[in-house]
Amino acid sequence: MGFFDSLFGKKKEEKKQEVKRVCPICGKEFTGKGLDVHDGTICFECWDLVLDDFESGRMDDDKEFYIAPIKAAVLAKKGELAADKAAKDVKPEVCPICGGKMPKFMTMEVKDGYICDDCFSKFNELEKYGETDKELANITLKELSALITRADKQKAANEKRKEQDACPICGANVSEKSIGSLWGDIKQSVKDEIPKFVLLKDNQKICAACAEKVRLLYPVKYARTYDSEGEYTGAHLDTLNTITLPEFRKALEDVNVKRQQLEKQYGSCEAVISVGSVARDFDKARTNPGKKEYRIRGKILLGKASKGDLIQVNRNDSGFTMRIERLQQITGFEEYSGNNVDSVGEGYYAIVTVAEDTSCIYPGDNLIIV
């Protein structure tokens, strides 16, 4: 090392000039590493054009990872891009998807053209419900048109289904399951509470609220079927299952006449119960022998009986009053017990529990509840 080299340091070596290579696909010079394929090296600019084609499996790396097929893919991609550019050079007067009028300003662009505001709104719905994972700029007119067509058909089908699942009396939803997305495949469930319904003889669904209006004429009954060994099976029979929709509409009129007759017979009251049987509540007697409670089993002929209501009994020119402590609704008189409820409506069977002596009440009596 010379004196000046040791004093000022060794002169830096000149940087080697990178070798320029010519891409066998596009013919442009490039420097740097490039992408090595089986029979040469191509520039990354060409590779970026077809990268998705290779990664999405449309080409077999082992058989197609050569210059010739890659070049064909690059030329096809460039032709596609040129066509997209040519298609977007002139804005159409009408939307190529729906035929609607195109806005003068802020036209929404897709990959190969333009769409109107309505179709853009539908794209947002498709995106919201997961019907497409493409950005607007990457979706073609053909792809978007197919998605919108499918979504519109699904929406129409859902609207028809909603109409079929509407109670013909009040329009309430009587579908057996919740309705999903209005766009294509069901992606999101609508968490609407679906009311129970009654199926008429002609398979028409009537919502529970409308069915209650005619229970005075068409109650739910209980029946037993016996096998050869004498064992029985209980079944709940809804008498509404035996009538058609026209007959149900007539029942809505007939029930008002029947109710007016009963109101005229019994006067102003909360309800009238027809007594089937009276007995002590032995379940409570076992747990609390000192407390005597009695069960009145029967059918609500009129109105609605509720906990806390008073029962009026007239026997031998004497009047008795007792308060309803508990209520159970049953679907037939033969049932031993039912569901604890706050009230029971007309046409249904009930177990009314009172804490007073019921020796003044007999089967066949009609009791006034106030």
DSSP for 105-137? SSPEEETTEEE-HHHHHHHHHHHHTTS--S-GG
- Domain boundary assignment for the chain: 18-88, 90-170+181-188, 196-262, 268-369
Residue tagged 């037939």 (tokens): 332
| 271-280 vs 366-369, strand pairing mode | antiparallel
Paired tokens of 47: 């590779």
**pLDDT given at position 189:** 36
**DSSP three-state, residue 298:** strand
pLDDT of residue 244: 94
Round to whole Å and give the CA distance between 340 and 346: 16
Q: What is the dihedral of CA 223, 229, 230, 235, to 10 degrees?
A: -10
Nearest 5°: the CA angle 292, 295, 301 is 150
- What is the reported pLDDT for 320? 83
Position 355, amino acid: A
Whole-number pLDDT of residue 247: 95
- Tokens standing for residue 99: 């035929």
pTM exceeding the 0.75 threshold for the entire prediction: no
Rounded alpha-carbon distances, angstroms, from residue 323 to 26, 278, 302: 97, 15, 18
User: Which 3 state secondary structure label does DSSP give 210?
Assistant: helix
The CATH number of the domain covering residues in 268-369: 2.40.30.10
Cα separation, 176 vs 259, whole angstroms: 32
Degrees (nearest 5) of the Cα angle 101, 183, 145?
40
Instruction: Provide the 3-class DSSP secondary structure of residue 226.
Output: strand
Q: What is the dihedral of CA 263, 265, 267, 273, to 10 degrees?
A: -80
Amino acid letter at 344? V
Q: Which residues contact 322 (CB under 8 A, 6 or more apart)?
A: 310, 311, 313, 354, 355, 356, 358
Torsion angle (degrees, nearest 10) of CA 128, 134, 139, 145: -40
3-state secondary structure of 245: helix
Residue 23 is predicted with a pLDDT of: 92
Q: What is the pLDDT along the chain (370 residues), one digit of tens a residue?
A: 555 555 555 555 555 666 788 999 898 888 888 888 888 888 988 888 887 777 655 555 555 678 888 888 888 888 877 776 766 667 788 898 998 888 877 678 888 888 898 999 889 888 888 888 888 888 888 889 998 888 888 777 766 666 667 888 988 888 765 444 443 333 333 334 445 788 899 888 898 889 988 988 888 776 777 878 878 777 778 889 999 999 999 999 999 998 888 888 888 889 999 998 898 877 665 666 667 888 999 888 888 999 999 998 887 777 888 899 989 888 665 556 678 889 998 888 889 999 888 888 889 898 999 8
